[in-house]
Structure 1
Amino acid sequence: MLNTETPSTRHPDLDTYATPALLDAFIDDQTAAVAAVKAALPQLAAAVDAALPRIRAGGRLLYAGAGTSGRLGVLDSVELHPTFSWPRERAVAVIAGGEGAMFVAVEGAEDDRAQGAADLAALNPGPNDVALLLAASGGTPYVLGAIEAARAAGALTIGFANNPGAPVTAQAEIGITLDTGPEVISGSTRLKAGTSQKIALNTFSSALMVKLNKVYGNLMVDLKATNAKLVKRALALTVRASGASEADAQAALAQCDHHVKTALVMLKRGVDAAQARALLDAADGSVSRALSA
């Protein structure tokens, strides 16, 4: 029996717990998710380093999964645009059962290997693309089909699974095992198995974005200011990173469509928006290098 399906021996009387003890059991069990990702750090690092040159060459991040894993892939792909101004067309996710499966479980869709291959192939993967294949069990047919299609196209394949020796990690070029063990509620991989996948995806994609110069220091300076909250955040980040007054920061942001990177270079180098953009382009988007050029 798979680790993720094996009944936990820690809480055999879970259904009798008082509310505080019940909640404590769930929360305490989640700590295993962090430990599992930490244990996979060497493989995650290898994945980032292998993905980076492909993404720099114009490749895309392609996600494929089923159920909770599929939804986590969609979530990671969607959040890269507002957080890092990552082009939507360069982070694309497919999920077993189609877009509707984000909201309503499509039973049996995960068992269709041919559909997984077809859905991934429909994205027209190429050698610069990076496919992230997610399956808690590690043997989901839909995901295995997606791996086949991605590898056939020459894309880098990175497999995430929560059981050691899983086909998903074995068949991908880089396998990342997040060994979270039995769940508090037996077999419910939306619990710590899902949490570990969320952490791993956050870690992978955020590290990649840092390497792609989307961050200055530890500040999120390449966000898309698409709503009032983000406009305020852009202003606060600009003031903090530049040391300028709020009024000067606001004036700079107004001249560059609230792009924090550009505003920072404008303020710290004393140049206009066009010159700041040119400096950033010459520095491959790195604020640090644009400021020292």
Structure 2
Amino acid sequence: MTELADPRYRDIDTWDDETALRAMLEGQMAALAAIAPALPEMADVVAAAAPRLRAGGRLVYAGAGTSIRVAVQDGIELGPTYDWPEARTLYLIAGGEAALMLGIEGAEDNAEDGRAQVADNGIGPDDVVIGLAASGRTPFTVAVIEAARVTGALTVGIACNAGAPLCAVAEHGILAATGAEAIAGSTRMKAGTAQKAILNLLSTQIMLRLGHVHRGLMVDMRPQNIKLRGRATGMVATLAQVDDATAQAALETASWQIKPAILVAQGYDLPAARAALDAAQGVLRNVAGAQV
């Protein structure tokens, strides 16, 4: 379906700009709606992924073309937003890193490269491997998921066509049936939007389950500039119920790490704060005696 030409858009090149833009916007909204039926499967992915990642596993994205570019955009944000270690985010890219900026001829058809990248990166049982392909048939991505599943990794396939092989070979298949594009075959549009939204939801909910969010706040973000340090100070002041000066002092003591700073502001010394968080697996709500 993602490759079909929709007759409704046959003359889109003759429409006035506002009409064409409105039609394409409607397609984007439909792409988001197409995700809803997949939410139960996505919840299962989160439940299966969190224990593996808590045990030290890696979050691995795999794909070609638009799909992997969307995936890199998702993964690269997890470090500054949730302090997710960059060393535990991995990208298996058809054609290698150069393909993020250039079209590499034939890269997506190279199934052997997909299998080799799984082997070369030592994919194993604690890893969570997410393969994306709008068509659901990209040989490189299907091969990655097949090979990763053999290693015992948790495998997830995200596709936009019913009956996609990618969803069939993965332990968890996530389908967003976005249908034909306004510009036939331009899957960076509806399909790309659906893929990005699915990744937004999955990665955010996984980070929630791992304790990187508390009361709707990004309590593991990295305060790397003036704006973010102000935000961090506000978080500590609110959650520890102290004034801004006390919050900032606690953050400075804790090297601008928000969660230990909250406990320091409540009277813990820094080693005790870190030990309490370790005992609670990093989940602030589970710290015994903390008023958060």
**One fold, TM greater than 0.5?**
yes
Q: Which residue is 1:21 aligned to?
A: 19
1:207 pairs with 2:205: yes
Q: What is the rounded CA distance, in whole Å, between the counterparts of 2:69 and 2:22 in structure 1? A: 26
Q: Which residue is 1:281 aligned to?
A: 278
Q: Which residue is 2:216 aligned to?
A: 218
Q: What is the rounded CA distance, in whole Å, between the counterparts of 1:177 and 1:229 in structure 2? A: 38
Q: Which residue is 2:160 aligned to?
A: 162
Q: 1:163-186: per-residue Cα shift (whole Å, max 9, x none)?
A: 001000001111111111111111
In the TM superposition, 1:78-227 aligns within 5 A as 78-227=76-225
Q: What is the letter of the counterpart of residue 242 of structure 1?
A: A
2:4 aligns with one of 6, 26, 40: 6
CA shift, 1:291, in A, is 5.6
Aligned length: 290
- For structure 1, the residue ranges without an aligned partner over 5 or more in a row are none
Q: What is the rounded CA distance, in whole Å, between the counterparts of 1:228 and 1:145 in structure 2? A: 45
Q: What is the rounded CA distance, in whole Å, between the counterparts of 1:11 and 1:75 in structure 2? A: 30
TM-score, with length taken from structure 1:
0.95
Q: What is the rounded CA distance, in whole Å, between the counterparts of 1:289 and 1:151 in structure 2? A: 33
Output the aligned Cα RMSD.
1.4
SS at match of 1:223: coil
CA shift, 1:134, in A, is 0.6
Q: 1:195-232: per-residue Cα shift (whole Å, max 9, x none)?
A: 11111111111111101111111100001223333323
Bigger CA drift: 33-42 or 6-15? Answer: 6-15
SS at match of 1:5: coil
SS at match of 2:156: strand
Q: What is the rounded CA distance, in whole Å, between the counterparts of 2:144 and 2:238 in structure 1? A: 44
Q: What is the letter of the counterpart of residue 264 of structure 1?
A: I
Q: What is the rounded CA distance, in whole Å, between the counterparts of 1:131 and 1:255 in structure 2? A: 37
Q: What is the rounded CA distance, in whole Å, between the counterparts of 2:104 and 2:287 in structure 1? A: 49
Q: What is the rounded CA distance, in whole Å, between the counterparts of 1:201 and 1:44 in structure 2? A: 10
Q: Which residue is 2:268 aligned to?
A: 271
Q: Which residue is 1:290 aligned to?
A: 287
SS at match of 1:44: helix
Q: Is the 8 A contact 1:65 1:95 kept in 2?
A: yes
Q: What is the rounded CA distance, in whole Å, between the counterparts of 2:60 and 2:42 in structure 1? A: 16
TM-score, with length taken from structure 2:
0.95
Q: Percent identity?
A: 48
CA shift, 1:254, in A, is 0.6
Bigger CA drift: 69-78 or 214-223? Answer: 69-78
SS at match of 1:4: coil
CA shift, 1:243, in A, is 3.2
Q: 1:33-58: per-residue Cα shift (whole Å, max 9, x none)?
A: 21121111011011111112211221
SS at match of 2:70: helix
SS at match of 2:2: helix
Q: Is the 8 A contact 1:265 1:290 kept in 2?
A: no
Q: What is the rounded CA distance, in whole Å, between the counterparts of 1:9 and 1:240 in structure 2? A: 55
Q: What is the rounded CA distance, in whole Å, between the counterparts of 1:118 and 1:15 in structure 2? A: 43
SS at match of 1:276: helix
Q: What is the rounded CA distance, in whole Å, between the counterparts of 1:88 and 1:168 in structure 2? A: 26
Q: 1:48-101: per-residue Cα shift (whole Å, max 9, x none)?
A: 111122112211111100001011222222111111111111111121111111
CA shift, 1:152, in A, is 2.1
> 4+ runs of 1 displaced by more than 3 Å?
none
